[in-house]
Structure 1
Amino acid sequence: MQRPETIKVNVSEPSVTVSLASEKADRSYPIYIDKDLLSNAQLLGSLLGERSVCLVTNDTLSELYLDRVRAVLGADRKVSVVILADGEQYKTLTAYDQVLTAALEERHERSTVFIALGGGVVGDITGFAAATFLRGADFIQMPTTLLAQVDSSVGGKTGINHAMGKNLIGAFHQPIAVVCDTATLETLGDREFSAGVAEVIKYGLIADKDFFRFLIDNAVRLKNRDPEVLAYTIARCCEIKADVVSRDEREGGIRAILNLGHTFGHAIEKEQGFGQWLHGEAVAAGMVMATKISVARGSISSDVLDDLLLFLQCFDLPCEPPSSMTVEVFLSAMQGDKKVQSGRIRYILLSSLGDAAVVGDVSESEIAACL
């Protein structure tokens, strides 16, 4: 693979485009990737025009970025700010209601643009609020974590958690733009950065074997947050997800492969208590389980598993599920997952390196062998 070049943003030429054209409407949207985009008044002005804004962030990020974004939005624009509590455990109906109540009390209209300034939790809550505010308002994703920049901000999945499981309440609602300011990753803690890396390696496993090899070869540079490697990595993940989403927006088919490791991972998050394991940490352990089953079935070489384990260990990511989780615990938790279809749990396994498929015949013994 060629050495990546730093990606430069141009207001008229996004780094990546999510193509969602249909007979009824063209809902395609741009993804911008570069440093210091939160301060780019030209970019935000081109996306917003003169429309009002409901800006949603959390109490950690508000101290870092709120003043900067508020200044770029301008003093003449109507802007309401909603500051949520920080953490997966707050991805609830209460937080969703907080956003909607603020927007209603401030008398925002359907023309208002919601802006999600934060990680995956802020993005999911804000997107769901926008989807249901006055039966649908536009929103912009401004992801500030690696996981959100490479995955959750793209594709239109929005929602909140329920005591019965993760992301069980929500809607498909595409943003009008995604603005990835890579400078925000400089303030991201190591644990949160590593959690994002789990989603990064997923893309290589399911869709691009050359990208997988690139990540394995450049693990140290990625861990050191090398700007060139980071910019290329974010763009390639967005390209892969944009391609999958453009072919299957509402997860009726191929989009399900993006859930590699997530069926097991969501079970871990639920059973351990939301927020105890970061989403990427649970996905890492889940991907190892899915890869082990794929190796046992003869679909891929054990060398792929070895490379994956070394890569995850480089970022101090868990390679095993919690010891307290038995086969019975996993099956019970996964039975409530939103990916269950006709009563059958759906799993994502690797058909080969760079290719994945949905299967419904994983046995209890196969799961037990991963524990």
Structure 2
Amino acid sequence: MQLQPIKQSFQVQYDYQLYFTSGLFALENTLFAKLIADYKGFEPVKLLFVLDDGVKNHHPELINQIEAYCKKNQQTIKYTITLVLSGGEQVKNSDAAIDSILKGVNENKICRHSFVVAIGGGAVIDMVGYAAAIAHRGVKLIRIPTTVLSQNDSAVGVKNSVNAFKKKNFLGTFAPPFAIINDSDFLETLEQRDWISGISEAIKVALIKDKSFFKYIADNATALKNREMEPMQYVIYKCAEMHMHHIAQGGDPFESGSSRPLDFGHWAAHKMEFMTNYELRHGEAVAKGIALDVTYAQLVGLISEADLQHILDVMIAIGFDLSLPVQSAEQITSLLNGIEEFREHLGGQLTITLISDLGVKHDVHTIDMDLMTQAVSKLNHQFALN
């Protein structure tokens, strides 16, 4: 008897929402408690909090506020513990950080009907999401991002990851969060470089998708640099909206294909982060990566010199340093090796997103290494390292 293959297909619906507020854990703010009650209103839901130590240092009363909030809403929330972990990209290089979360999940009996709540910058959000996704094959996650970059980009997606084998995001999962909550109060205490760096992700999405959004960023470059909250809130909202729309409407939410336009400027960014031992913030590296790729786009004739200069001028006006952390031939070769590493990470055919106009993406499948080397030199000549 010959057995025929058994075929099966199924679809899974994912729903999650991004909320905007201020003073999330103020006793009078009902948003968080209502979110938990809407999930399961008939009994308290167990929560384990993970807090970025940088956020704790700038908001020393936050843990007490969380505990008081949970106590007030104890009919809805069952508080367990708040784990405090070091922030920054280095946390994604550490097995110890992942192990501490898994230990917390185990010891506090966090199950798949409980929540891990991650509060911090993009790196902590990324790492905690990875740990939550592998515990019990997936513990529900609430993200509370605290930086511009995490509020407008990294925390609103469906990816979680850590670094391994000297490669960024080598280990990871696709696991949509239950919800994301953007609290604008956390932005007030950011260092200037963290305030600025997240704007690079908005520039990225504007350049590949929306010319009018890029014009808004250009028109408000000085206001953004000067920490005016209204234009920043709009930039965060618009960038997050476009990011989430791309995930839903792009037809490839879990990146099965070879095109990843939201990683415009990222092949070089990821490599520069590693080459500087992550002294560069991710957003700072993305700004440099965008500058490099638009310079290359101009050299291959995709965009005009005027458009190139306009893009660079906008980024400079916001406060970005666009010089590249490479000077020697060996360093340039190492940087360019990032192109193949990017292809390897994604798999399949090399696909690098460039632009052919402001707001118009243009995918290429080959890179002229001589011209990319010229782009590096041109950029560093214009923005010479001190």
TM-score tier after normalising by the smaller chain length: 0.7 to 0.9
1:336 alignment partner, one of 325, 338, 341: 341
Q: Deviations over 1:12-57 (max 9, x none)?
A: xxxxxxxxxx974432211112332343642111222221111111
What secondary structure sits across from 2:135 in the alignment? helix
**Aligned residues of 2:259 and 2:351 also touching (Cα < 8 A):** no
**Aligned residues of 1:349 and 1:357 also touching (Cα < 8 A):** yes
What secondary structure sits across from 2:235 in the alignment? helix
Task: Please show how residues 284-299 of structure 1 align to structure 2 within 5 Å.
Answer: 284-299=287-302
User: Which residue number in structure 1 is paired with residue 271 of structure 2?
Assistant: 267
1:128 offset after TM fit, Å?
A: 0.8
How does the TM-score come out when normalised to structure 2? 0.85
Which entry has the higher C-alpha Rg, 1 or 2? 2
Residue type at the aligned position of 2:374: A
1:46 alignment partner, one of 34, 39, 55: 34
Residue type at the aligned position of 2:190: L
Residue type at the aligned position of 1:351: S
Q: Which has the higher contact order (CA 8 A, sep 6+)?
A: 1
Task: Please show how residues 185-200 of structure 1 align to structure 2 within 5 Å.
Answer: 185-200=187-202
1:255 offset after TM fit, Å?
A: 6.8
1:59 alignment partner, one of 48, 53, 61: 53
Task: Give the stretch that moved more between structures: 342-351 or 192-201.
Answer: 342-351
Residue type at the aligned position of 1:85: S
**How many angstroms apart in 1 are the aligned matches of 2:107 and 2:125?**
21
1:344 offset after TM fit, Å?
A: 5.4
Residue type at the aligned position of 2:337: S
**Aligned residues of 2:118 and 2:141 also touching (Cα < 8 A):** yes
**Aligned residues of 1:80 and 1:103 also touching (Cα < 8 A):** no
Q: Deviations over 1:319-352 (max 9, x none)?
A: 1311336442123344333664557543221132
What secondary structure sits across from 2:156 in the alignment? coil
**Aligned residues of 2:115 and 2:139 also touching (Cα < 8 A):** yes
Task: Please show how residues 181-260 of structure 1 align to structure 2 within 5 Å.
Answer: 181-247=183-249, 248-253=252-257, 256-260=260-264
Q: Deviations over 1:46-104 (max 9, x none)?
A: 22222111111122212413333333233631322111112211213221111111111
**How many angstroms apart in 1 are the aligned matches of 2:256 and 2:210?**
21
Task: Give the stretch that moved more between structures: 52-61 or 86-95.
Answer: 86-95
Distance 1:164-1:335 versus aligned 2 partners, 3 A rule: farther
1:364 offset after TM fit, Å?
A: 0.8
- Alignment of 1:323 onto 2:323: no
1:34 alignment partner, one of 2, 18, 21: 21
User: Which residue number in structure 2 is paired with residue 359 of structure 1?
Assistant: 364
**Aligned residues of 1:54 and 1:80 also touching (Cα < 8 A):** yes
User: Which residue number in structure 2 is paired with residue 112 of structure 1?
Assistant: 114
**Aligned residues of 2:47 and 2:79 also touching (Cα < 8 A):** yes
1:164 offset after TM fit, Å?
A: 2.1
Q: Deviations over 1:87-144 (max 9, x none)?
A: 2112132211111111112222221111110010111011111111111111111010
Distance 1:24-1:333 versus aligned 2 partners, 3 A rule: closer
What secondary structure sits across from 1:180 in the alignment? strand
Distance 1:338-1:45 versus aligned 2 partners, 3 A rule: farther
Residue type at the aligned position of 1:283: V
CA RMSD of aligned residues (A): 2.1
**Aligned residues of 1:32 and 1:179 also touching (Cα < 8 A):** yes
- Alignment of 1:370 onto 2:370: no
Task: Please show how residues 107-146 of structure 1 align to structure 2 within 5 Å.
Answer: 107-146=109-148
Q: Deviations over 1:170-218 (max 9, x none)?
A: 1011111110011211100101111111112112101110000011011
How many correspondences in the alignment? 349
Residue type at the aligned position of 2:85: L
Distance 1:308-1:70 versus aligned 2 partners, 3 A rule: farther
**How many angstroms apart in 1 are the aligned matches of 2:141 and 2:343?**
24
User: Which residue number in structure 2 is paired with residue 154 of structure 1?
Assistant: 156
Task: Give the stretch that moved more between structures: 85-94 or 139-148.
Answer: 85-94
**Aligned residues of 2:149 and 2:283 also touching (Cα < 8 A):** yes
1:266 offset after TM fit, Å?
A: 0.4
1:235 offset after TM fit, Å?
A: 1.0
Distance 1:232-1:255 versus aligned 2 partners, 3 A rule: farther
- Alignment of 1:278 onto 2:266: no
User: Which residue number in structure 1 is paired with residue 307 of structure 2?
Assistant: 304
Distance 1:341-1:91 versus aligned 2 partners, 3 A rule: closer
Residue type at the aligned position of 1:122: V
User: Which residue number in structure 2 is paired with residue 6 of structure 1?
Assistant: none
Distance 1:238-1:287 versus aligned 2 partners, 3 A rule: same
Flag structure 1 segments of 5+ consecutive residues without an equivalent: 1-21
Flag structure 2 segments of 5+ consecutive residues without an equivalent: 1-8, 38-43, 377-386
Residue type at the aligned position of 2:292: M
Residue type at the aligned position of 2:216: F
**How many angstroms apart in 1 are the aligned matches of 2:136 and 2:228?**
43
User: Which residue number in structure 1 is paired with residue 352 of structure 2?
Assistant: 347
**Aligned residues of 1:38 and 1:69 also touching (Cα < 8 A):** yes
